[in-house]
Structure 1
Amino acid sequence: MSSTAPPPVEGSSTTSRPSAGPRALVETTGIEIIAEAERTAKPHQLFWPWFAANVSVFGMSYGAYVLGFGISFWQAVVVAVVGIVVSFALCGLIAIAGKRGSAPTMVLSRAAFGVHGQKLPGIISWLTSIGWETSLAISAVLATATVFQALGLASGTTVLVIATLVIAAIIVTASVLGYHTIMRIQSVLTWATGAMTVLFMILTIPHIHWSAVASMPSGSPQAMVGALVMVMTGFGLGWINIAADWSRYQRRSTSDGAIIAWNTIGGSAAPVVLVIFGLLLAGSDEDVMAKIGDDPVGTLVTLLPLWALIPFWLVAVLTLVSGAVNGIYSSGLTLLSLGIRIPRPAAAFVDGAILTAGTIWVVFFADDFIGPFQSFLVTLGVPIASWAGILIADVLTRRTDYDAEALFDPRGRYGAFDGTSIATLLVTSVIGWGLVVNQYSDASFNDWQGYLLEPLTLGTYVDAPDGAYWDGPWAYSNLGVLLALVLSFVITLVFRRARIRRQEIGLERRVR
């Protein structure tokens, strides 16, 4: 079995570098392997970052999104529970790699793509993380403006400037401080935001009308598939490219089942409750149904008593910030994995600066941005799903832990490029893009998607005078995301098994 000592740090002139201890204020560990002595985290601690990042009241807005597919309440409940739990379980499978290899997700992915070949999905992952976390920061700033306006307090540019600077400062500072500080913060936020979210739900119960909810007609199986893919993409698959970053401090002896379980429980516990509650609210009131998807904070503000708005604002902002902190921390690690030779805190600061600039641009200057921005991120979701399928199959196939030194050496057992994985990612992404459609009228640059729907008789493009749209039961089901995930998994499972077995020669087989 290869040595468990940390391999050389990329860009470092030394053969190894001691990482900051668990109690250090600033985590200096970058993408190098975590020293065995520092791997002291316990499986249940994975609950904190996953729960805190997903307890956002914005999860209620997905109730309107799901019902928008034209399905009944009970169909929507099935879709929500299955989609959320399964997608976070997939995160748990990838988190196994963090426990086995003690390195960030995009470094461990080198075993499947090659040390240099991994840069292709790495760039996609970095863009996705930066995009989603910028979106969270923007939402936090706009939520501040909405609540302050409802309270009759200061509003306008001054509030937006202060909110932008404070929120960006919190996100950047926590991300720069690193893993141990984030884990402490998230463990506190979990209890505080969780308790306050329950309070808000209790306060809005009078707005639920079961008769209206129960009378919603059932939809087609195709509509359920579309809603399922949307839920999976919005929840677990949105985090899957950073899943191993939070398990790399786990003991090597920790069971795979414990890693999967705590990732799944932490990630899905709050969203399942929030989405179902959102279904009840949206199904009870057509006005809420129409507005909560586009303006969740503004809509929920109208349902709450005045005294609850400040606590509501704090919880809304803190939960959004929690998610952004997790994402920026991980995007900094991904930036390092691409070959950028700077310390980890500096990488987090760079990504935080990009997030801040993006937030400022959208809040103060962009007139037409959210639709194109979301369309761009959804487009990246197809190759991310493909990458996830490849890595999950790779993790499940391996019978040994990773060769730490080879993850940093293109001449090692994992090689510089893995042609099978790269080709699989490219081909399945092309197929996947052909089976998803652009749902944003202000993102016409993505109208090229969906090119396989008509040839496969799954949908028809209608160029109507009042606006073009896709017609057909499968048109908006976004099959491309699910197909990219499943197809990549199957191809890797079948065609890379022999190569993985060759990579494992000389490594000690895991006992567990």
Structure 2
Amino acid sequence: MHVDDAQAATATVDDEYRAFRVESRGIELIPETERPMRPADLFWMWAGGIWNVEYLVYGALIVSFGLSFAQAVLAIIVGNVFFAFLGLASLQGPLAGTTAFGVSRAPFGRLGNRLPSLFNWITQVGFEIEGLVLIVLVVEAMFAHEGVSVGTGLKVALIVAAVLVQFIVPFLGHATIAKLLRYLSIVFIIVFAVMGVLIAPHVHPSSDHKHASWAIWTTAVVLLVSAGGLGWTENANDYSRYLPSSTPKASIFWAATLGGAIPAILVELLGAAAFLVSPQATAVTGVPSSFASWFFWPFMILVLPQVFAINSLDLYSSGVTLQALGIPVNRWGAVIIDTIISGLVTALVIFKGNFYTDLSGFLDYIVVWLAPWFAIVFVDYLLRRGRYDRAGLAAVRGGVYWRNGGINWRAIAALIVGMGAALLWIDAQFYVPSFLGPISRATGGSDLSWVLGIVVGGLVYYALARGEVRREVEATERGVAGAEAVE
């Protein structure tokens, strides 16, 4: 590349990918000249999202299931090893140059991909609602702490304010999210370190004589896997796609995996310890009861930017997923639509819902579709050896991935069978809708739905689609060779 060409490419990157301006790219392909991200940026982006009070609550929640502190520690370590799923799910974005559900078109077909895209859109909006409800509850607790009663009018005002603030960063886009989370992570690390110092003298694990059954322990693990490594796989390529395609795969894997796993383990351990001091730590507004009274206001003020930060990841991803559904709207327009919908449902939850019960059920059920979808996309990636036909991914009609009228029924069948398998081993009997799978019933209420969903979904897709995918790879490689010959 000549000097002038290099300067032009740098100017393009600066113009297209800049924090605090509206990102123009959505699900469409990102050119190599517009990918300035580095693995370190990916690490700090995930770290900034996961150093979060929500993960502290997850740590407290699993102890509330009846686990001893030692069992909780083991569950936290085992559950967060599976942030490796996030690392594996981040590999395709740089190669394909598009989002998670842009890549998902390869196994499912452009139209067939709308089914898992719908599941993901509902999941992302669900997480957005979780965050907005937490924000409103936190502000309500601030008012209550000062003796101010929060009536209906003030609640509505809080919901509207939370929605408007939440809208800003996802509207601006990828570069703004990455930069903000990088710097916020430093603040969050410092504050959580202070929290650890404050709580350590009051934690006495030796006096905790509870011991939960293996079945309950697996239920705790599925919550952590769902909220952690597996629960973020459907977002992964939305953020890694701004890495150059030449980025070493090992660097991508470890940046995403460790960026999520390290903070999740540390913060969840803090949450488990907080529960030993005060069982109220299972709710964000109850966490301050585990600390000295003076810490109430510093903690509550910190919670707000944390929840807004993690919600930005979900709202950005729900926007590009809405595009994958075929809605004719640009990325920032999709963010507006999702903001309005999540705000309306947040109001419904605030006035009618049972938030923490609904949250646990939501985390339990999303693995039913997410586990087999992740397995299908990753098996497809392995079968293709990472070779994607970028034109085929972007094509509105026709191309390598069009298949039977835009639908790959093999992938749809694998997804449905994988979901059915996950339901066989799920324990959701205490949620709405209530359901206990037959394998779970036979094993005393254990829950390994996510394991069965991954194994069955991946194996069925491999058995049904391996020949077809290999033919597509050969066609893609012939096309690349032909293009190189012309050049």
Same fold (TM over 0.5): yes
2-structure distance, mates of 1:227, 1:163: 32
Is the aligned partner of 1:269 residue 2:262?
A: yes
Verify the 8 A CA contact 2:392 2:401 in the aligned structure 1.
yes
- State the partner residue of 1:504: 473
- State the partner residue of 1:423: 413
Verify the 8 A CA contact 2:274 2:290 in the aligned structure 1.
no
**TM superposition shift of 1:311:** 2.0
Instruction: Label 1:355 to 1:196 Cα distance change in 2 as closer, same or farther (>3 A).
Output: same
Verify the 8 A CA contact 1:400 1:504 in the aligned structure 2.
no
Q: Which runs of 5+ in 1 are unaligned?
A: 1-16, 460-471
Verify the 8 A CA contact 2:417 2:456 in the aligned structure 1.
no
- What whole-Å deviation, never above 9, does each CA across 1:251-298 have from its counterpart, x for those lacking one? 11101111110111111111101111222232x34xx23x332x2322
Q: 1:211 aligns with which of 194, 199, 206?
A: 206
Residues 1-150 of structure 1: pairs in structure 2 closer than 5 A? 21-23=16-18, 25-86=21-82, 88-150=83-145
State percent identity of aligned pairs: 29
**TM superposition shift of 1:377:** 5.6
**TM superposition shift of 1:426:** 0.8
Report the count of equivalent residues. 463
- State the partner residue of 1:338: 325
Residues 158-169 of structure 1: pairs in structure 2 closer than 5 A? 160-169=155-164
**TM superposition shift of 1:19:** 11
- State the partner residue of 1:4: none
Instruction: Label 1:451 to 1:265 Cα distance change in 2 as closer, same or farther (>3 A).
Output: closer
Instruction: Label 1:172 to 1:227 Cα distance change in 2 as closer, same or farther (>3 A).
Output: same
**TM superposition shift of 1:423:** 0.3
2-structure distance, mates of 1:124, 1:377: 13
- State the partner residue of 1:297: 285
Verify the 8 A CA contact 2:422 2:452 in the aligned structure 1.
yes
Instruction: Label 1:19 to 1:113 Cα distance change in 2 as closer, same or farther (>3 A).
Output: farther
- State the partner residue of 1:322: 309
Instruction: Label 1:303 to 1:379 Cα distance change in 2 as closer, same or farther (>3 A).
Output: closer
Secondary structure at 1:95 match in 2: coil
1-structure distance, mates of 2:477, 2:450: 36
What value does the CA root-mean-square deviation take over the aligned residues?
A: 2.5
What amino acid does structure 1 have at the position aligned with 2:249? Answer: D
Residues 241-280 of structure 1: pairs in structure 2 closer than 5 A? 241-280=234-273
- State the partner residue of 1:401: 387
- State the partner residue of 1:353: 340
**TM superposition shift of 1:155:** 4.4
- State the partner residue of 1:177: 172
**TM superposition shift of 1:153:** 5.7
- What whole-Å deviation, never above 9, does each CA across 1:189-221 have from its counterpart, x for those lacking one? 1111221122222222232123214x444x444
Instruction: Label 1:78 to 1:46 Cα distance change in 2 as closer, same or farther (>3 A).
Output: same
Instruction: Label 1:156 to 1:313 Cα distance change in 2 as closer, same or farther (>3 A).
Output: farther
Verify the 8 A CA contact 1:203 1:304 in the aligned structure 2.
yes
Verify the 8 A CA contact 1:42 1:250 in the aligned structure 2.
yes
- What whole-Å deviation, never above 9, does each CA across 1:329-365 have from its counterpart, x for those lacking one? 11000001111111211111111111122222322x3
**TM superposition shift of 1:401:** 2.7
- State the partner residue of 1:230: 223
Q: 1:391 aligns with which of 377, 389, 414?
A: 377
**TM superposition shift of 1:70:** 4.2
Residues 433-452 of structure 1: pairs in structure 2 closer than 5 A? 433-440=423-430, 443=432, 446-447=433-434, 449-452=435-438
Secondary structure at 2:366 match in 1: helix
Secondary structure at 2:27 match in 1: coil
1-structure distance, mates of 2:228, 2:319: 21
Is the aligned partner of 1:490 residue 2:483?
A: no
**TM superposition shift of 1:124:** 0.3
Residues 278-289 of structure 1: pairs in structure 2 closer than 5 A? 278-282=271-275, 284-285=276-277, 288-289=278-279
2-structure distance, mates of 1:75, 1:111: 41
Instruction: Label 1:143 to 1:189 Cα distance change in 2 as closer, same or farther (>3 A).
Output: same
Instruction: Label 1:357 to 1:374 Cα distance change in 2 as closer, same or farther (>3 A).
Output: farther
- State the partner residue of 1:379: 365
Instruction: Label 1:202 to 1:166 Cα distance change in 2 as closer, same or farther (>3 A).
Output: farther
**TM superposition shift of 1:72:** 3.6
**TM superposition shift of 1:250:** 0.2
* Stretch moving more, 325-334 or 477-486: 477-486
* Stretch moving more, 419-428 or 388-397: 388-397
Report which of the two has the higher share of helix. Answer: 2
2-structure distance, mates of 1:275, 1:333: 30
Instruction: Label 1:67 to 1:340 Cα distance change in 2 as closer, same or farther (>3 A).
Output: same
1-structure distance, mates of 2:46, 2:35: 19
**TM superposition shift of 1:18:** 11
**TM superposition shift of 1:473:** 4.4
2-structure distance, mates of 1:353, 1:224: 38
- State the partner residue of 1:14: none
Verify the 8 A CA contact 2:53 2:307 in the aligned structure 1.
no
Residues 438-477 of structure 1: pairs in structure 2 closer than 5 A? 438-440=428-430, 443=432, 446-447=433-434, 449-453=435-439, 458-459=440-441, 473-475=443-445, 477=446
Instruction: Label 1:474 to 1:502 Cα distance change in 2 as closer, same or farther (>3 A).
Output: farther
1-structure distance, mates of 2:189, 2:386: 39
